[in-house]
Homo-oligomer: A and B are copies of this chain.
């Protein structure tokens, strides 16, 4: 339950947080702040901003880079916490329906970096037509 997610992360259970979590569980893909604002019209902009920030910090959601200019967030499915995000899956942006989804089943491939570089994180942003639109 959403309440438990908050408690497990050491965040207090409040109405704005539950509302935001509900929006995330209702939608599958990654959401921009504006997407959530459209759903929760009465939500204070700054509260939402800080809610997303704390969720991200605590590992409840992660940023989904998708090469649109908007920062998007998606629920973390794997074991993410304050220490580390395990979101090594690609994000897919559909140029037709403009939705961004997490390809959780896919593991981002190892990238052969030149000598001397140390990679700690890989983010893969895919663009194209999603299952439904293609």
A residues with a Cβ closer than 8 A to B are 63, 65, 67, 69, 71, 90, 92, 95, 103, 105-106, 108-131, 134
Do A117 and B134 touch across chains, with their CB atoms under 8 A apart?
yes
Q: Which residues of B contact A134 (CB under 8 A)?
A: 116-118
Q: How far is the CB of A89 from chain B (nearest CB, A)?
A: 10
Q: How far is the CB of A116 from chain B (nearest CB, A)?
A: 4
Do A118 and B113 touch across chains, with their CB atoms under 8 A apart?
no
Whole-angstrom distance between the alpha carbons of A67 and B114 in the complex? 20
Main secondary structure, interface of A, reads: loop
7 nearest CB pairs, A to B: A116-B131, A121-B127, A123-B125, A118-B129, A109-B109, A120-B128, A119-B128
14 A-B residue pairings within 8 Å (CB atoms): A65-B67, A65-B125, A106-B113, A106-B114, A109-B112, A111-B126, A114-B131, A116-B131, A117-B131, A118-B128, A118-B134, A120-B127, A122-B126, A124-B125
Do B124 and A122 touch across chains, with their CB atoms under 8 A apart?
yes
Given contacts A65-B65, A106-B111, contact A126 B121 (CB under 8 A): yes
